[in-house]
Structure 1
Amino acid sequence: MKKITCLLLTLAVITHTNSLFAQATSTRTEKDLLGEKKIPSNAYYGVQTARALENFQVSGVPTKFYPDYVRAFAMVKLAAARANAEVGRLKPERLAAIEKACQAVIDGKYHDQFLVDMYQGGAGTSANMNANEVLANIALEMSGHKKGEYQYIEPHDDLNMGQSTNDVYPTAIHVALLLHNDKVIKEVQALSAAFHKKGDEFANILKMGRTEGQDAVPMTVGQEFHGFGNQLDAAIEALRKSEAYLYEENMGATAIGTGITASPGYAEKCAVQLAKITGKPMVLSHDLIAATSSMQAFVMYSASLKNLAVTLSKISSDLIFLASGPRAGIFEINLPALQPGSSIMPGKVNPVMPELMNCVCYKVIGNDVTVTMASQDGLLQLNAYEPVVAVAIMESQGLFFKTIPLFRANCIEGITVNQKVVDNYINRSVGIVTALNPVLGYEKTTELAKEALQTNKGILELIREKKLLTEDQIKKLLDPKELTTVK
C-alpha cells in the first residue's frame, strides 16, 4: 500500500508537470551549463528546476507539500535581498520587485510552482534553484516583464546574490521547522489541557496503582490523568528549549563558511532581517564553517520530537492497557467507540486512536534515527544529506500536527471511568495493605496479605471479618485525599 501511495504521488507530480506543458500555448527556451531546454511559458520555474523534475522522481512529495517550508524559502530570500540592498549591492528597483515576489509566496501564493521532490541529490541545490527561479519570474511578471527575461532580474545574480545552497538551504529548513514547531506545540498544549481536565473530573475516584504490571498502592484516577498531562508539559518544554538550536543560522557562509562572494556586513544584516521577518530571534552563528559542516541543530530538535513520541507512545499504551477487556482485561476506563473492531468477531471494539498514535510515534522515532545517521555521515565542510533530514523532521512535525488533535477529540475528551471496576480492585487488591502499615504494623499486614492471597479474599474483607478496624477507621483510611496526598 505504501509503495502504491508513493507511486500515485509521483504520478501526480508528473501529471501536474505535464499539464503545464499541455496548458501552455507556447514554450520559452532557457539554458544552463548543460545546454538549452524548453520550459512551458506558463511555468514560473526555470531550467534547473526542470532538470530536477526529470532527475528526482522519487517520493512524489514535492516542496509544496510543506507550505511552511515554501514560506521559509521566501523569508530567507527576502532577508538576503534586503541585506544585499543595505550593503549597496542590490539595486533598489530590483529589491522592490523581489520583495513583492517573496511576500506573495509568504502569503501563500504560487506554491504550486515549488515542485522539486523532497528527496534529491546535491545537498538541496535543486530546492534552492527552484526558489530562485520561481521568485525571479514572479518578480519579473510583477515588474511588467515576461518570464525568462533574466536580464532584468536573474535567478543566480539577484535571487542568489551573496548566497549558496549551503547557507540558504539549511537556514530555510531552520525557519520552516520553527514555523511548524509553534503549531505542533499548540496541539500538544491542547492535548495536555484535555488530560488535566480529565484529571480534575476524576480527582476523587480511588484506584489501584500498578508497578511492573502488579498491584502497588492506591492513587486516584485524577492523579493518573494529571500525570499524563504533566508528562506532555515536560515534552512541550523540551520542544521550546530545542528551538534555541534552530535560531542560529549560517547565512553569509556561502559555500563552506568562508563567506566567498558575500559582501562585508551582509551576513550580520541578513540575520537581523531574518529575525524581523520570521518573528524569531534568529542570530548569526559565531563559526560559519562549523555551522555549515555540522547538523547539531537538527539532531537536537529531532531529539525533542522523539522525546514527545516516546511520551505519547507510553501514554497511548497505558490507555490501551487500562481499557482492555471488557470482560477479560483491566477495563478501568472506557475509550470512545469509533468503529467495529473486527471483521470476524462480533461486538469487538478496538482502541484505534491510541493505536494510531503509537503508529505515528514509531515513525517519528524512526525518523530520528534517520536524522542521526544522515547527520553523522556528512563529509568535511558540507553535509550532502540535509534533504533526507528535512524530509524526516518535517514529516514528524506533520504527523504530530495531524494526529494529536484527532487523538484528543476522538479519544481523550470522551474517556469515562468504570467506577464499579476500580472499586472492586481497591476492595480486593492486596496492594491496599501498604496503607495499613502505620495502623496495624508490618508483621500483621504481611499476614493479612498472605492470607488474602491464599483464600482469594480481599484485604478489607479480612479486616472486617477479624474486626481489626472499625468502619469509621476504614473509611478514613480510604479517603482519597488522605490515602494519596503527599504529607
Structure 2
Amino acid sequence: MTTIDQQNSEFRIERDSMGELPIPNSAYYGIQTVRAIENFPISGIKPLPTYVDACVIIKKATALTNSELSCIPADIARAIVQAADEVLSGKMRDQFVVDIYQAGAGTSHHMNINEVLSNRALEILGDRKGNYQRVSPNDHVNYGQSTNDVIPTAIRIGGLLALAHTLYPALEEAIASLNNKAIEFQDIVKSGRTHLQDAVPVRLGESFRAWAQILIEHQNRLKLAAEDLTKLGLGGSAAGTGLNTHPQYSDRVAQILSELLSHSLKPAPHLMAAMQSMAPFVNVSGALRNLAQDCVKISHDLRLMDSGPKTGLKEIQLPPVQPGSSIMPGKYNPVMAEMTSMVCFQVMGYDNAIAFAAQAGQLELNVMMPLIAYNLIHSIEILGNTINALTKRCIQGITANSDRCLAYAEGSLALVTALNTHIGYLNAAAVAKESLETGKSLRQIVLERGLMSAEELAKVLNLEQMSAMPTSNP
C-alpha cells in the first residue's frame, strides 16, 4: 500500500496482523474498528451509552490496578484513566461505532474501546494517534484482559448501572403514585369482574393498591436476581485461568470497581464458570420478563376501565395527552397504556433471544455475548423509561367516575353471592336468574319470595361492608 504522509494528510496508516489500512486522522478508533465497520453493516444500531460506560469504567479500573501492581508504566496508566474520565463525562461518544451485531463475544466493540482510549491517551502524553508502540490498545489498555472476561463483566456492570439509574427509580415512583391513588379512591365502590363478567364489589382504591403491591414484589425479585451480577469473572483472561494477569489482579480490580461504582463487587468463586455461563443474565432477563407481563396486565386493565366514554366502562378517566384520531374529532386514546404494552412485548422478545443466545456457548466461551449485552441493558432501560412515562403521564393524573362505579356495583347480579350463606346457593342462583330475566332487583325478588327480612337483607347487601378488605393480624 502506498505510504501516506501523515503530517499533511487527512488519514494516518495503522497496521495489524492482517496488514495496513488508512484511518481518518480525526478518528480516535483504529484499524480493528475500521475492519469491524466494513464487516458488519448490519443494523445501524450502535452500542448503548450505558454499555460503553461499563466498558470504560472497567478500563479505568484495570489501568489503576495494573499501575498499582507495576504491570504498566504509571504515566501511561494516568493517561488511560484521564481518557476514560473524559469519555465518562460525555466526550468522544461518537467514536464507539461498531454495530451491535458483530464479531463473536464482542471483540470488535472491545477493541473499539481499547483503541479510543489508547489514541486519546497518546494525545494526553503529547504523542500522535496511532503510535501504538508508546501506548498500545492491546499491551497497555488491555493488559491482563481478554474480550472473554471483559465483556461478561461489562454486561454485569451495565445491567447494574441501568437498574440503579433507570428501572429502580421508576418502580419506586410508580409504587408511590399507585399507593397515593389507592388512598384517594379508597371509598369508591365498584363492581369486580372475573372472566370479564360481573363479580362481587371491590374498592377502586384496592385495585390500585394491588397494582402497587405487584410492583413491589417484582422489584424484590429483580434485586434478588441482580445479586448474580455482582460476581465478576474479570481476571480470568482468555479462558478463565488468569493467564498474563498479576496474582493480585482479580481481587484488586474488583475492589477498585466497587469504589468507582459504590457497589459491592467481588471476584466470582470460579472465574472460568463466570466467563462461560450466561445464567446471571438469563436470570435478570427472566425477572424483567415477569415484570413486563404484569405491566401489560395493568396497562390493559387501565384501558378497559377507561373504555368509552359512552359505550364502555368509563369507571376512570386517564389523562388525555394527545388527540387520538386523524379523522374523529374529540377522540382521546389511552396511548400511554398502549405504549406500555408494546414496550413490554419487546422486552419479552428480548428475553427469548437472550435465552437462545445463552445456551449457544461452546466450551470456554459464549460467542453470543454482544446480543445478550444489548438486549439485557436495553430491556432494563426501555422498561424503566416506560414505567416512568406511564407514571408521570398517566397514573398520576387518573380521576375516578365514582357515580358510574357505584351504579355498576349496585346493578351487578354478583351481589347475590353475599346471600349464599343466608338462603343457600341454589336459592341464590334462582334469584339471580329471575333478576336477569325480569329486570327486577335482587332485593325485590328476595323479599317477594320471603327468603329474608328487609332488615336482614339491608345488612347483607351493604356494599361498603362487602367490599372491605380483611384486616390481617401483625
Deviates more, 1:228-237 or 1:409-418: 409-418
Structure 1: distance between partners of 2:421 and 2:322: 48
Identity of aligned residues (%): 40
- Correspondence for 1:226: 209
Tell me, yes or no, if structure 1 residue 263 matches structure 2 residue 241: no
Structure 2: distance between partners of 1:464 and 1:109: 79
- Correspondence for 2:144: 162
Summarize the alignment of residues 20-419 of structure 1 with structure 2, pairs less than 5 Å apart.
Answer: 26-63=10-47, 66-182=48-164, 183-419=166-402
- Correspondence for 1:5: none
Please state whether the residue corresponding to 1:409 is helix, strand or coil: helix
CA, structure 1 residues 367+290, in 2 after alignment: closer, same or farther (shift >3 Å)? same
Deviates more, 1:275-284 or 1:299-308: 275-284
Which letter does structure 1 place at the counterpart of 2:248? G
CA, structure 1 residues 107+472, in 2 after alignment: closer, same or farther (shift >3 Å)? farther
Deviates more, 1:403-412 or 1:431-440: 431-440
1:180 Cα deviation from its structure 2 partner? 0.7
Please state whether the residue corresponding to 2:154 is helix, strand or coil: helix
1:122 Cα deviation from its structure 2 partner? 2.7
Structure 1 residues 374-413: Cα deviation after superposition (integer angstroms, max 9, x where no partner): 1111112111111111121122123223322221222212
1:446 Cα deviation from its structure 2 partner? 3.5
- Correspondence for 2:3: none
Structure 2: distance between partners of 1:378 and 1:254: 17
Tell me, yes or no, if structure 1 residue 486 matches structure 2 residue 436: no
Structure 2: distance between partners of 1:398 and 1:75: 19
Aligned partners of 2:100 and 2:370 also within 8 Å: yes
Please state whether the residue corresponding to 1:264 is helix, strand or coil: coil
User: What TM-score, normalized to structure 2?
Assistant: 0.92
Aligned partners of 2:203 and 2:467 also within 8 Å: no
Tell me, yes or no, if structure 1 residue 422 matches structure 2 residue 405: yes
Which letter does structure 2 place at the counterpart of 1:341? G
Please state whether the residue corresponding to 1:123 is helix, strand or coil: helix
Please state whether the residue corresponding to 2:104 is helix, strand or coil: coil
Which letter does structure 1 place at the counterpart of 2:103? G
1:161 Cα deviation from its structure 2 partner? 0.4
Structure 1: distance between partners of 2:465 and 2:127: 75
Aligned partners of 1:429 and 1:458 also within 8 Å: no
Please state whether the residue corresponding to 2:105 is helix, strand or coil: coil
Aligned partners of 1:28 and 1:41 also within 8 Å: yes
- Structure 1: tracts of 5 or more residues without a match: 1-23
Structure 1: distance between partners of 2:395 and 2:141: 48
- Correspondence for 2:5: none
Structure 1: distance between partners of 2:141 and 2:224: 33
Structure 2: distance between partners of 1:84 and 1:157: 11
Aligned partners of 1:427 and 1:459 also within 8 Å: no
CA, structure 1 residues 469+353, in 2 after alignment: closer, same or farther (shift >3 Å)? farther
Structure 2: distance between partners of 1:184 and 1:191: 10
Deviates more, 1:105-114 or 1:472-481: 472-481
CA, structure 1 residues 41+463, in 2 after alignment: closer, same or farther (shift >3 Å)? same
Aligned partners of 2:149 and 2:236 also within 8 Å: yes
Structure 2: distance between partners of 1:462 and 1:96: 87
User: What TM-score, normalized to structure 1?
Assistant: 0.89
Aligned partners of 1:428 and 1:460 also within 8 Å: no
Structure 1: distance between partners of 2:45 and 2:407: 53
Aligned partners of 1:185 and 1:239 also within 8 Å: no
How large is the RMSD of aligned CA atoms in angstroms? 2.1
CA, structure 1 residues 462+49, in 2 after alignment: closer, same or farther (shift >3 Å)? same
Aligned partners of 2:419 and 2:460 also within 8 Å: no
- Structure 2: tracts of 5 or more residues without a match: 1-7
Which letter does structure 1 place at the counterpart of 2:136? E
Structure 1 residues 27-72: Cα deviation after superposition (integer angstroms, max 9, x where no partner): 2111001111111112111111111111112111212xx2221111
1:357 Cα deviation from its structure 2 partner? 0.6
CA, structure 1 residues 482+324, in 2 after alignment: closer, same or farther (shift >3 Å)? closer
CA, structure 1 residues 31+469, in 2 after alignment: closer, same or farther (shift >3 Å)? farther
Aligned partners of 2:201 and 2:466 also within 8 Å: no
CA, structure 1 residues 457+329, in 2 after alignment: closer, same or farther (shift >3 Å)? farther
Aligned partners of 1:98 and 1:135 also within 8 Å: yes
Length, aligned pairs only: 462
Structure 2: distance between partners of 1:431 and 1:351: 29
Which letter does structure 2 place at the counterpart of 1:48? Q
Structure 2: distance between partners of 1:42 and 1:471: 88
Structure 2: distance between partners of 1:177 and 1:25: 42
